[in-house]
Amino acid sequence: MIASSSNPAEIAELLAFYASAGVDEALEDAPINRFAEASRPKQSERPAAATTPVRESRSQEIPSSPARSDQGGITERQAPSPGLDASNVPDAPVRTATAAVPDEAQAALARQMAASASTLEELRRHMEAFDGCNLKATAKHLVFADGNPEATLMLVGEAPGRDEDIEGLPFVGRSGRLLDRMLAAIGLDRTSVYIANVIPWRPPGNRTPTPHETEICRPFIERQIELVNPKVLVNLGGPSAKTLLNTSEGILRLRGNWRAHTTASGIAIPAMPTLHPAYLLRTPAHKKLAWRDFLEVKAKLRALG
C-alpha cells in the first residue's frame, strides 16, 4: 500500500480509509510465498539484518490473548496474525494453561464414577463433581434430566442447546416444545416420561461433540438408563442412536426399526431410533416419519403393559 502523494494530510486520510475498511495489517510490497516458509532458515541461522520499522512495530503490538484449540482449551503459544512473516514475530511468552483434551484416564474415571452410583441423585452428584470433560468448563449448567424417573418410557437426545444450558433441563427450547406436542399426540407428557441426553454439557457454539467427548460421557448416560430401567427407550437423532445402539448406520436408515440397548447388567431394553425434533423443525416434511415411530412406541408400551 503505497500512497501516490507525499502530502502527510493525504496519507493520513488514506490510512484512515484503510482502517475503516478493515485493513489492520502492514504488508510488504512484494508478495510472500507461504509454501516456501517451511524451508526458510530459522531466525537463529540467519545473518543479522535490520527489519523495517513498520513491521517491527506491528509485531510488537500483536495482542497476547490466548488462542483457542478445537477442543475449547488454550494453546501454549499465541500464533502470529495472518499476513505477518512468522520469522520476524518475537516468540510469544509460554502460557502455563494447556488445552483441556480428555484422555483415557478421564474416561476410566467416568466409568468408575458412573458404576459406583446406586441412585440417580448419586449419579447427578458424581457428574457435577466430574471435571474430566472439557465441555463442562464452557457450560453454564449440568443438564441432567427432566421428567419422571419411574417412567416406563425414556427419551435420549444428543446434547443441550443454549436454552437447555441456561435452564439446566433437556429439551426446553423450540425442539423441546415440538417434543412436548409429539408426546401429547400419543397421550404422554413430561410427568409420564423421562428425558436425558448423551452429553450433559452444552458444546460451545452448539458444535457437534467430538467422538472423544462422547466416549467420556457415555458411561454416565448408560448408567442413567440402567438406573431408570425403562420398558422402552427412544433415541432422538442419529448421535443418540449410534452411541447407545453401537451402530454406524444413519438415522434415516435406523428410524422406524426396533433395536435393543443392552445395559451393563445384561438387560435388553427395546429401543426405537427416530428423528430429532430439531431436524423436524428444519425438515417438516419428515414429521410424518416421526409420527409413525411414535405410534410404534405407543403400541409397544401398550403391549408391555
Tell me what pLDDT residue 14 has: 76
Check pLDDT > 50 for residue 9: yes
* Domain residue spans of the chain: 104-304
Residues 149-182 have pLDDT tens digits of: 999 999 999 999 999 999 999 999 999 999 999 9
CATH 3.40.470.10 applies to domain 104-304: yes
135: confidence class by pLDDT, cuts 50, 70, 90: very high
Residues 73-102 have pLDDT tens digits of: 333 334 444 443 434 434 444 444 344 444
Q: What is the pTM of this model?
A: 0.67
User: Where is pLDDT greater, at 221 or 47?
Assistant: 221
Give the whole-angstrom CA distance, residue 202 versus residue 235.
18
Tell me what pLDDT residue 65 has: 37
Tell me what pLDDT residue 15 has: 76
Check pLDDT > 90 for residue 52: no
Tell me what pLDDT residue 16 has: 72
Tell me what pLDDT residue 49 has: 46
Identify the burial level of 173 via C-beta atoms within 10 angstroms of its C-beta, where 0-12 means exposed, 13-18 middle and 19 or more buried. Answer: buried
- Mean pLDDT, rounded, for 103-124: 94
Residue from 144, 181, 193 nearest 165 by CA: 144
Residues 201-242 have pLDDT tens digits of: 999 999 999 999 999 999 999 999 999 999 999 999 999 999
The tally of CA atoms less than 13 A away on the side-chain side of residue 201 is 25
Tell me what pLDDT residue 11 has: 80
Tell me what pLDDT residue 4 has: 54
Tell me what pLDDT residue 68 has: 38
Give the whole-angstrom CA distance, residue 100 versus residue 76.
11
Check pLDDT > 70 for residue 283: yes
Identify the burial level of 157 via C-beta atoms within 10 angstroms of its C-beta, where 0-12 means exposed, 13-18 middle and 19 or more buried. Answer: buried
Check pLDDT > 60 for residue 193: yes
User: Where is pLDDT greater, at 15 or 122?
Assistant: 122
Tell me what pLDDT residue 93 has: 41
Q: Which residues pair with 271 in a beta bridge?
A: 233, 259
- Count of C-beta atoms within a 10 Å radius of residue 98: 11
- Name the residue with cell 483434551: 101
User: Where is pLDDT greater, at 185 or 49?
Assistant: 185
